[in-house]
Structure formats: structure tokens, C-alpha cells
Structure 1
């Protein structure tokens, strides 16, 4: 046995350390906007950058667009990164200094740079502002002292230059300013200003400056420049100990990156190009001549993923040759060849040909919140991998094997497989999953069986909306599961900032990520910070209403008077609450039993509902029962009551198992509807159309009655069962027909005249949840199915599929429908296992702001006559939340 001399630092150091780079890029992306209200044109940029010290972490440049202030003034991300206190100071500095009548004529047509530099226990900011016209030395003191209404100005001479200090009264508000070669340099650090002025100190390399100048986009509101060699310096400056393997991938990469900002109010997005020095020993260089490809392994990552690093290859032959050259450059090629030769002699299998040929073009390393790691490898042919690997591995359990030799995967994939010298592995579909620990792999198998996956989390769904899945390298860091790991890595000063929720908002980011794609020897690169905006739907409620017990019904919105509406909800102890649209309690009263189906409102605004304690209730908008109510029923109700006008009389039709109960609105049972023989259980509401009453049962018996309760016809559909509602709608001849779907996926059409017809819709199982929506689309009802994880909608008339959607968990709740202002319908779906709710429009698009964390049974629409749309939903804290959309 042998090793390649792998380092042994903690796995957490390998994957979470990259967050430091992202955080500081984010800081730059935010801060300069507070100086961006000036108008300028492009000027020569080389001279200002030549003053910057060699150890410059990041440089930003921004165009002086007069609209920038308005665009970004409410951009929450800036305040979250910079801090509330710092944000106010920057705004004051901009308005009192850069916008002053004394200075503005000199800086209004220039480009401003903000750069970041390391100092002891902090990172200091340098603002570099070339002036349009030269300011004479004799005029400068008078110009700056003219600002004394806003600042206290002092001056001193040092290194042959005049240094001004400006104090604007706030804590840590001292700013040092000097003017050299027609350029203002300003910083809160006097030491940094002196470093800039000292010509004997090393400065930025001209090659870096030229690259920045060439890639300075005048169209973007912000450009960011980063020298790759600073990765190591940044890591050592803010971390408690040496960085790990992930950041080590960028060691000795050389070169630089230039990014431009794309505006989005809930994400920080930087995209651009990266240039390297093409050093053969660097693993990243293997991808410079690849091209971006689709990455989809993230669909297999567990829910407790803290971070992942994913790789994909477009040209396998080029990758193999470049990997061979990397091994040769590292003096590892002989060792790799010896490994493969020995295995071929001992096992009769060639690693490169026999194993490499069946490995796919995508692989990824996942770090979990407990710091355990997994390696995922896409397979080309899932049917042959087991037999081939069996010759190189030994069975540990029925589904898990372990390699007999070490470093097989390293010889095929390179650096990402370093941490998996002799792993355990199992196969999930066309993906090989590997871990160093048997327990880690067994825990993953449980996660997979239970669908406890990263793609099912709200944060990742928000991430997917913004970042594409085509790249060669993707790094993803999930803040919720990585936060404690990051805190332990940061030095105390930076840890304090990271954990400060009062002044900062680092915990309000869902994730940080970057993507790299090969581009003919260079790279295209992007950085994403996905933010939990307080303005986003589901973030900041208009109001909340707290219950003592868990709510058990959806919120219903009913008319309260000619000028107002109100909300009705039942909680677990059977108390029903009447709630004002502003979230205040109107009344509450305890009912006997749990509400069955949905509550219904009559024309006189009284409300009808059924409970599972065999009670029929009718009460007014103040929660008081009407005379004669509640009424004891002779059977337990099983579905929502249907209220309809029959022979000029309003009647209440109640499904009650094997019985159909019919009452008038005074609570008296209607004589002509008594003792109707029903074969089977009525599980859903009764339909009434044009004076005819339609009933369906679970065992395939369907009834049509006239308006006096006389049975007109019974249709029996044998050898099948029905577990879903019925609907009645006009057919192409404008005659009412009944539609129903059985558990085998057939849609039946019954007109009670001709023989029923059926059409195969899909291969659904018996657990499929289905619902019809016919209030908006009366002539052509919408049929919505939820089969395990798949949502599908169909046109009932021609059974054409309108759209489909796949969830990550099996959906067990029936879909809901909400009418919108455009006389169309929204489809609500609750993914109970992940506590996520979705809202789809009729074309299948997820409504903006969804999914949202909430429990099943919610409401979307107006909550008062003149209100906008609201989401009313329940969360695990037993509160009703009202979110305005």
C-alpha cells in the first residue's frame, strides 16, 4: 500500500474556507454604491492603480451613473454586508463630501476606485478618485477647510505630502485624505495612506493593471477585480489556521479575474472572465479548454449538505491527457502507472480502459453539516458498473462494497478524489456514491430512501431560480448548515462581524456560490450570493395571529358586511376563530368536532359547516348560531356540503358515507330526499347542475336525480375503484355530463343516456390525489393530478396535458384552487414533508415569491374587498401569517 502524500487538514477546512473570498467580494460589491451618484466619462485608468500596494485584496471601479442612487438606495444586501452603522456613515460621507459644492466640480467626471487591503485584525478601505482638473497645491487647504461645516479638518505633513484628517462626528469616523498627482486618496487608515505614498513599497504588477483596464466595463454599474494569488493571503489573514484543500485548488493558479455586477434585489451576482498562468500542476487548469456542460448531480445530494464542489467534463480525451500531464508535472505519473499495472496483473482489469470508460463526465464532493464527506460520480452505463467494480472491491453489505486497493479514483479523477483513498461505495441509479465511512454511506442511503435531499429545501430552490446549472466547476455553500463551521474558522474580529445579527445580515443569505467554465484557455466565472430579502413574499408578515393549539383547517375568507370581509380558521381543540383582515380577533367559539370539508357561506352571509361529531352548524358573522342550530345528523358527514337552489328553495346536500342527507336552510330534513339508497361510500361533494343532482361512490356507482329527489338513472362501472372527486360540465353538445377518474388512471364520461366512455390518462397508482376546477373553466374543467412527486394538469374535454411539475417529496395533500383577478385560477400545492407550499398559474409557471415555507392548507387572494392579494398560511409556531404580495 502507498499514498501520494495527501495533506490531512480537516475536511471542513477544505470546503467552507472559500466563503471568505465570497464575503469580501460581497463587501466590495456593496460599499462603492454609496459613492456612485456622480457623473463622469471614461478617463485613463492606469495611473491611479499604480499607487495601490502589492497586497491588494480586491479592487472595484464604478461608473458615475446618475440613476445608480435610485436603483440601489433600498438594496438590502448592501446593508446586510456592510452593516447598518457603516451604511449610514457612507451615505453621510457621500452627501457631505463628494456632493459638496467645493469638491463636486473636480470629481463629477471621473471614475472612482474602492480597494481593500489587509492590516492587523482588520481589512482597510482605500478610495481612489482621480480629478478632472488639477487642484493647485496652494488651493487645496482652502478647498478642504471649506468643508468644516460638515467636517472637522486638520492637516499635517508627512513623506513630503500634506495629509488631511476629516472627522464627521460619528464613532470611528476619522477619514484621512491626501492629494497626489491629480488623485485623491482617502481611507480611515492613516497607515494605508502612508503605504500608498511610500514609493519604496511594492505596488501592483503592471500586468494586473493592464488586465483590469482592458476588462473595465463601462456598461456595468460596478466592476470587481481580483488577483488570484491573493486567495492565500486572504485565507491566512482572516482564518484561525491554514486553509484546506478546496482553496488549495487555487494555489499557484496565477492571473486575475474581472467581474461585473448584474442587478437583482435578492441576489448579489458578479460575472465576467478569469485569466490564469496555465501552470500544468494546477488542477483547475484541466478545465480551461473544456466547455460548460449541464450539471445535475446536485439532485442526489443529501438535505444536510453544507457545501459541494462539482465538476463536469465536455471533452474526456482532453481531460485524460491534461490529467496525465498534471501527474507528470507533480512527479506522480510513475506512481499512478505502477498502481494501474499492478491492478492489471493482479485483477486482470485495466483501470483506465475498463473503469475509466464507464465513469461519466460529472463528479462532485459534498461536505455535510457533520463534516462527513461524500463523493458522487455519474456513470455512463449503470448496468455494467457493478460487475466491473466487483473485481476491484469486496462486498460489505448487500448494497455496499469497498475498494481493495487505494487511490484508484485519484488516478482517474485527480484532486477531488484525494480525500477518498479506499472508499466504500453504493450505486443509486446511474450514480456511484462513495464515502470513507460505512456509517456515512448507510446514513446517505436512508436519506435517499426518505427523499431528504438538498433540492427539496427552500434555500436551494431560490438558488436554482438565479444560478444556471451549466458550468465545468460549481462551488455551493449553504449558510444554514455551514454557519457554525464558518464561525469556528474565522478569527475573532471577523467572527464577531459574521455573527452580529443586529448590525449585519450575513445569516440572511441562503447561499454563496461560484461557477467556472472553460473558455479556450481562459475561464468564464460568476459569483452568486442569494439573499433572504425582507421584501420577499413570506419574509415579513403584515400581521400574525397566534393560536393556543395547532390550526387544522385552511383559512377561509367570507363576507362580513357590505364594506368588509373576515377570516375563519379552526384550531385543534375545535375552537373556530373569526379574524379581522387586519389580524385582530373578532370572536372565537368552540364547536363540537372537527370541520369536515369546507365551510360555505349563504347569501344572507350566514355560514354553514359540518363536523365529524355528526353536527350541522349555521352561524352568523359574529360567530353566534342561528335559531335551531346546531343540528344532530343521523350519520357522520364525509365531505363538503353543497348548497343549491332547488325548486326555488335553498337546500343543503350533505355526503354522509352511504347516505345522502338533504336539509333546508332552517335545518329541517327535506321529506322528498329521505331514505335514498346509495351503494358505496360518498367521499366527496355532491354536484348539482341545471336542476339535476349527481352523486358518485367509491365502488363505481353513479347516480342522477331530478329536482324532487327521483332517481333518473344509475350507472355502474365495474371492476374498478374511485377515490377522487367528480365534476359535472357541458360536453361539446352543451349537455351536462359527469366526469370521474378511477384508480387505474382512466377518465370516464357519463351522460346517463349513452354507454359511459373512458380514456386512459396516465398510469397513476391508487394514492393519486386528483381535483377538478370548474368554477372558472365551467365549459372545460381543469383536471389536476398529484401522483407521488408529479403534478400534472389536463383539459377534461380532450385530455390534453397542459403542464407538469416534479417535486422532490411525495405530495399527499389534494391541490387547492384560488381565483385570481384575471378570471383564471391559481393551483396551490403543499409539499408536506418539506413544509413548502407552491402556487402555479394555469400555464404552469410558479407564481413569483413561491415556494414558501409553510404547512398545508393555505389561502391566496384578497382578504378584504379593496385589499391586494395576500397569502394566509400556517407555520409550525401555531401562528397564522398574512403576507402581502
Structure 2
């Protein structure tokens, strides 16, 4: 019996040891395969991934819109890298059919720059690459496996060669930083789990919203507040597939919210809604953030839980109790009963900010709010109590502490100034609406009619806002004919699908059909 027991122990120990060796080797091999990805994701907010094959380059060369977005300088850099490395058979042989990562990062000059990362094929050696490069170009050894290569009189590239990974950039800092590979990086793991590359997908874009402030602070003058505050401290990721088109730039895929305290989590697992509140927006709307749910009373229960986690529930209850005590108005019975299923925050080209809430019975709400409101004029009122809207809708409406408002066609529309509400009424009554603009209709025809969250920018209506808030080099690119000027719409649309959001990212250019000369004077 003792002999049998000893044999069993030896067998179990042996099997456990062999399994340990096998899985350790497997993990090591997997980690080695991920070295390029680890370098690419270090501090990156935005990564474009594609496979290094001829078909990709043939298709992308016909996509002039991408070149407009990147600008002449960055486009010319990528063309040069393709010319000197991809089209060089000896060099390209070592990275053929490998995935290439194009990361966008701020460099030592605090300008957005490219870091290109690719892993050599398993049977290729870095030394062979170095030998080929040295035979063709002037190479300056910078130390720590970093080299400066002079490609021509006007272009030099820094190359990093660590393990089986090649990194390249015009920034020495980005190449050095890429050599630091984090053993645990949530963004790396997210990309590995969401890499759905196939022959029908030209490329994928991955967004790390944790790092978007690093990008935006090099573009935006000042802090990330107002409409772009949604990108600050946002523990979220997106994986989007690129759809080739000569008329638009469209990505679709999913967005995942990782933080349980994220306000947008309130819209997870909520049925998608047909959007209609945008029909009231003035024609000079510069941007909007839209929120939609199926049942307000159920959604508000989630909001109360969220407010409790932030110790805001007591403040909210105090606001509601004070209104009930001072004005004998039960706000719960009003908003729980008559709020429909969507609300929106929007900004006009004049930089004025407004919001709107859809109602099931606007006339009834108008009567019920009389005692908690003061008259500005016959159409415009002002809340007597502060933070009413924040209490019932949360963070997006916090900036409207004690707003002026009007109720028209089952919509509660509000702003911090009476003149802003009046400007809205003038546009609405005169039918000067965004839905009458051909460029807006063209863009909306390219995305879903149902969603839960949408973030929209009209670039033409936003030009003065950009001028005040975007740093000069990027503003020039936004307004340049060769840059982004001809693009009229940016749209980020999210539709709940369990714990993820199905996502469309659109950058659209409305191509107005020309009228034939034979019809011009008829």
C-alpha cells in the first residue's frame, strides 16, 4: 500500500511539473508574440493596426480622405516610410504579413507624432535588418539599441531594435519610451481580446480613453471641461473596424466602459431608442451630447444609486424636499410621470449652451412647474430652486444650476441666460433647424436611427469655438482646404448591447451634387 501511495505521489508530482513547464513555455511564447503590441500600447491613446500586405497599401492609396485628416506632413512621412522600407524587398521580407501598429502620441516637442511598431517574423533576426540598413543609409548609433537613420537630405528616422521588435519615429523620445514594456497593461489585454482581424477588415482602430487627456492637452488650450470633459478620467476602451470609402471615414465596432462609477454606465443594458429630440435643434448647432433610455422611472433608480455612491443623494433629496416644503410642489411626481425617454445638451455657434428634455405632456408640466418658477416673460420662466435638473438627470445638467426655460411642443428647453432661450425660440419658430441642413441629413443617413448615446460636432458651426479653444497649429489644420475644412460632421454613436456599446464613428464630408449647366438658368 505504501509503495502504491509513493508511486501515485510521484506520478501526480511529475504530471504537475510537466503541466507547469508546458504552460510556462506557452505563456512565454505568447508574451514574446505580444512584444510589439506591448511597445505600441505604452501610453498610447490611439492605435491603428493593419496587416503588412500589398492589398492594404493598394486600397489605402485610394483613400484621399485619410490623407486629408492626417495632413500633408504626416501623410508625406508615411509615404516616405513605405517607399524606403515596405517597398524594399530585402527589408520587407522580414515583416511580410506581420501586423503593424501605428500609435499616436505626444512627443518631446509636445506635438502629436507617430510611433510605428512591428514584430519580425520568428525566423528573422534584428541583426539582419541592421546590416541591410547600414549598407544603404548613414546610421548614427544613439545607444540603448536606438539608431538614427538619415534617409535623405530632409528626413531622418529613429529606429529602436529591442528583442524581435522594430520601432520607428521621427521622435527619439517615442522610440526610447516604447522600449519600456509593461508586464500588465489593461489596454494591451483589451486589444488582444478584441483583435478580430480578417480579410474583410482593412484595419482596426483602438482607443484608450484613459490616455485621451494626454492627446487632448496638446491640442486644446486650457483644461478638459465643458463638452469635452467626457473624455477626462474616462476608464473606457473602443475597438473599431475601418470601412473603406472614398466619400466618408467610418469605423464601427464596440466601446466598453470599465469603471463602475462611470455616468455612462447608466445607459448599459438599456434598449436602443429612436432619436427625435434632435429635430428641435437650431441650424447653427455646433455640437451636442445626447442621452436616451426606455423608461425614465427605471433609469432614475439607477441614477439614484449612482448619486448615492458619490454622496450626492442627500443633496438631491434636500433639493426635492425644499421645493416640496417651500412651494408645495412634488418634483418626483412631475419628472417621474412626464419625462419621456431622452435628453440632450447642445451648444450653438455663438458658444451659448442649452439643454432639452423630452416630455410626454408639455402643457401639463408647464402648469405643474408654475409655483416653482418665476416669470421672465410670457414664454420664458426661471426656476426658483437651484439644481432641480441635476437632481433628476445627473452630471450632464449640473452646469444648468438655476436655468431659464421654456416648454414647447413637449420639450423642456433651458439655458443659463434668458437671451439664449429666446434665440432658440426664434430659430424654432422660423423653422431654422439643423434637420433642414443637407449636410446633417447626409451624415445621419450613414448611422443608426436608434441609439442610447451620441456625441456630435458640426465643424463649420464650431469654427469660432475651435478658434478659442484649439491651439494654433491644429486650428490651422482644422480650417485648411487641404486639411479638415471640407469635413462637416464628426459623430460618435453608442447603442447598448449588454455590457458593451455597439459604436459608429463617422467623419463625413457632404458632397453637394452639382447642377448641370443646362439646368442652371431654367
> In structure 2, what is the Cα distance between the partners aligned to 1:475 and 1:456?
19
2:317 to 333, 337, 348: 337
Segments of 5+ residues of structure 1 without an aligned counterpart are 1-41, 539-857, 864-871, 875-879, 881-885
Decide whether the 8 Å contact of 2:105 with 2:215 is kept in 1: no
Given the alignment of the two structures, is residue 122 of structure 1 paired with residue 102 of structure 2, yes or no?
Answer: no
Give per-residue Cα distances to partners, 1:762-799, cap 9 Å, x unaligned: xxxxxxxxxxxxxxxxxxxxxxxxxxxxxxxxxxxxxx
Give per-residue Cα distances to partners, 1:322-355, cap 9 Å, x unaligned: 2112211221111111111122223333212233
- Structure showing greater radius of gyration is 1
2:399 to 376, 401, 419: 419
> In structure 2, what is the Cα distance between the partners aligned to 1:53 and 1:278?
20
Given the alignment of the two structures, is residue 253 of structure 1 paired with residue 238 of structure 2, yes or no?
Answer: no
> In structure 1, what is the Cα distance between the partners aligned to 2:296 and 2:335?
14
Where does residue 24 of structure 2 map in the other structure? none
Q: How many residues align?
A: 490
Give per-residue Cα distances to partners, 1:679-723, cap 9 Å, x unaligned: xxxxxxxxxxxxxxxxxxxxxxxxxxxxxxxxxxxxxxxxxxxxx
Give per-residue Cα distances to partners, 1:247-306, cap 9 Å, x unaligned: 3334433132211112222211112122222332x3212112323211111110001111
Where does residue 58 of structure 1 map in the other structure? 46
Q: How has the CA–CA distance of structure 1 residues 277 and 390 changed in structure 2, closer, same or farther, with 3 Å as cutoff?
A: same
Q: How has the CA–CA distance of structure 1 residues 82 and 391 changed in structure 2, closer, same or farther, with 3 Å as cutoff?
A: same
2:361 to 381, 385, 400: 381
Segments of 5+ residues of structure 2 without an aligned counterpart are 1-29
Decide whether the 8 Å contact of 2:442 with 2:510 is kept in 1: no
Does 1 or 2 have the higher relative contact order (CA < 8 Å, sep 6+)?
2
Q: CA deviation at 1:418?
A: 1.3
Where does residue 279 of structure 2 map in the other structure? 299
| Partner SS for 2:344 | strand
> In structure 1, what is the Cα distance between the partners aligned to 2:491 and 2:83?
34
2:83 to 81, 86, 95: 95
After TM superposition, the structure 1 = structure 2 runs for residues 705-720 of structure 1, keeping only pairs within 5 Å, are: none
Decide whether the 8 Å contact of 1:487 with 1:499 is kept in 2: no
Q: How has the CA–CA distance of structure 1 residues 518 and 44 changed in structure 2, closer, same or farther, with 3 Å as cutoff?
A: farther
After TM superposition, the structure 1 = structure 2 runs for residues 434-583 of structure 1, keeping only pairs within 5 Å, are: 434-501=414-481, 504-532=482-510, 537-538=513-514
> In structure 2, what is the Cα distance between the partners aligned to 1:366 and 1:86?
33
Decide whether the 8 Å contact of 1:49 with 1:204 is kept in 2: no
Q: CA deviation at 1:73?
A: 2.0
Decide whether the 8 Å contact of 2:125 with 2:164 is kept in 1: no
> In structure 1, what is the Cα distance between the partners aligned to 2:498 and 2:270?
8
Q: CA deviation at 1:44?
A: 7.8
Q: How has the CA–CA distance of structure 1 residues 62 and 440 changed in structure 2, closer, same or farther, with 3 Å as cutoff?
A: same
| Partner SS for 1:56 | coil
Give per-residue Cα distances to partners, 1:25-81, cap 9 Å, x unaligned: xxxxxxxxxxxxxxxxx9985221222463212112113454333433232212211
> In structure 2, what is the Cα distance between the partners aligned to 1:74 and 1:138?
35
Give per-residue Cα distances to partners, 1:542-595, cap 9 Å, x unaligned: xxxxxxxxxxxxxxxxxxxxxxxxxxxxxxxxxxxxxxxxxxxxxxxxxxxxxx
Where does residue 121 of structure 2 map in the other structure? 132
1:209 to 183, 188, 197: 188
Q: How has the CA–CA distance of structure 1 residues 86 and 233 changed in structure 2, closer, same or farther, with 3 Å as cutoff?
A: closer
| Partner SS for 1:195 | helix
| Partner SS for 1:271 | strand
> In structure 1, what is the Cα distance between the partners aligned to 2:247 and 2:190?
30
Decide whether the 8 Å contact of 1:107 with 1:131 is kept in 2: yes
Decide whether the 8 Å contact of 1:46 with 1:210 is kept in 2: no
Q: CA deviation at 1:476?
A: 0.8
> In structure 1, what is the Cα distance between the partners aligned to 2:259 and 2:85?
45
> In structure 2, what is the Cα distance between the partners aligned to 1:524 and 1:268?
17
Decide whether the 8 Å contact of 2:254 with 2:503 is kept in 1: yes
Given the alignment of the two structures, is residue 177 of structure 1 paired with residue 159 of structure 2, yes or no?
Answer: yes
Decide whether the 8 Å contact of 2:69 with 2:484 is kept in 1: yes
Where does residue 11 of structure 2 map in the other structure? none
TM-score by length of 2: 0.87
Q: CA deviation at 1:116?
A: 1.4
Give per-residue Cα distances to partners, 1:405-438, cap 9 Å, x unaligned: 1111111111222122222222221212222222
Q: CA deviation at 1:205?
A: 4.1
Q: How has the CA–CA distance of structure 1 residues 114 and 43 changed in structure 2, closer, same or farther, with 3 Å as cutoff?
A: farther
Q: How has the CA–CA distance of structure 1 residues 83 and 208 changed in structure 2, closer, same or farther, with 3 Å as cutoff?
A: closer
Q: CA deviation at 1:236?
A: 2.0
Q: CA deviation at 1:137?
A: 5.4
Q: CA deviation at 1:531?
A: 1.9
| Partner SS for 1:402 | strand
Given the alignment of the two structures, is residue 347 of structure 1 paired with residue 347 of structure 2, yes or no?
Answer: no
Given the alignment of the two structures, is residue 68 of structure 1 paired with residue 56 of structure 2, yes or no?
Answer: yes
Given the alignment of the two structures, is residue 156 of structure 1 paired with residue 144 of structure 2, yes or no?
Answer: no
Q: How has the CA–CA distance of structure 1 residues 50 and 84 changed in structure 2, closer, same or farther, with 3 Å as cutoff?
A: closer
Where does residue 208 of structure 2 map in the other structure? 227
Decide whether the 8 Å contact of 2:150 with 2:157 is kept in 1: yes
Give per-residue Cα distances to partners, 1:633-673, cap 9 Å, x unaligned: xxxxxxxxxxxxxxxxxxxxxxxxxxxxxxxxxxxxxxxxx
More strand by share: 1
Decide whether the 8 Å contact of 2:45 with 2:210 is kept in 1: no
> In structure 2, what is the Cα distance between the partners aligned to 1:76 and 1:137?
34
TM-score by length of 1: 0.53
Where does residue 166 of structure 1 map in the other structure? 150
| Partner SS for 1:60 | strand
| Partner SS for 1:378 | strand
Where does residue 191 of structure 1 map in the other structure? 173
Decide whether the 8 Å contact of 2:210 with 2:233 is kept in 1: yes
Decide whether the 8 Å contact of 1:55 with 1:118 is kept in 2: no
Q: CA deviation at 1:98?
A: 1.0
> In structure 1, what is the Cα distance between the partners aligned to 2:225 and 2:254?
25
